[in-house]
Amino acid sequence: MNEKNMLLSRIKKYDFTLKELNLYLDTHPNCRRALSMFRKYRELRRDAVQEYNKRFGPLTPEQVTDTQSWTWVEDPWPWERR
């Protein structure tokens, strides 16, 4: 797996953990252990996405920083066999 895919893979793991905590917290809004784990993963995720944006491009249109070209529309798209 190349570095781009490895980093994207890490982001997916963080996002999944965050989503699981998100759903758990929706029904357990005062659970401090879940809130603390959420905070930890939010920071890991933020750093990983920043690195991804810098080296490989945007995951959302707002993350486009390239001043020469609108990289958002570049291939491949997620449903294609990358």
Partner 1 sequence: MNLDLFDDMEGIILHEREASLVSEMKNNNGNGSMTRFPKNTPLAMAYVPFQQWGETYGDDEALSRGTLFPELDLPFLKGGADK
Partner 2 sequence: MWQYEKKLQYPVKIKTPNAKLAKIIISQLGGPDGELSASLRYLNQRYAMPYGEVKGLLTDIGTEELAHFEMISAILYQLTKDLSMEEIKANGFDTYFVDHTTGIYPVAASGTPFTAAYFQSKGDILTDLQEDLAAEQKARTTYDNILRLADDPDVRDPIRFLREREIVHYQRFGEALRIAQDKLDSRNFYACNPSFDKNCGRK
Contact with partner 2 (CB under 8 A) among 67, 68, 69, 78: 78
Contact 28, 34 (CB under 8 A): yes
Q: Binders of partner 2: how many residues, by CB under 8 A? A: 25
36 binds, among partner 2, partner 1, none (CB under 5 to 8 A by kind): none
Of the candidate residues 20, 40, 44, 45, the single one contacting partner 2 (CB under 8 A): 20
- 4-27 in b/e burial notation, b at 16+ Cβ within 10 A? eeebbebbeebbebbeebeeeeee
Tell me which of 15, 35, 44, 45 binds partner 2, using CB under 8 A: 15
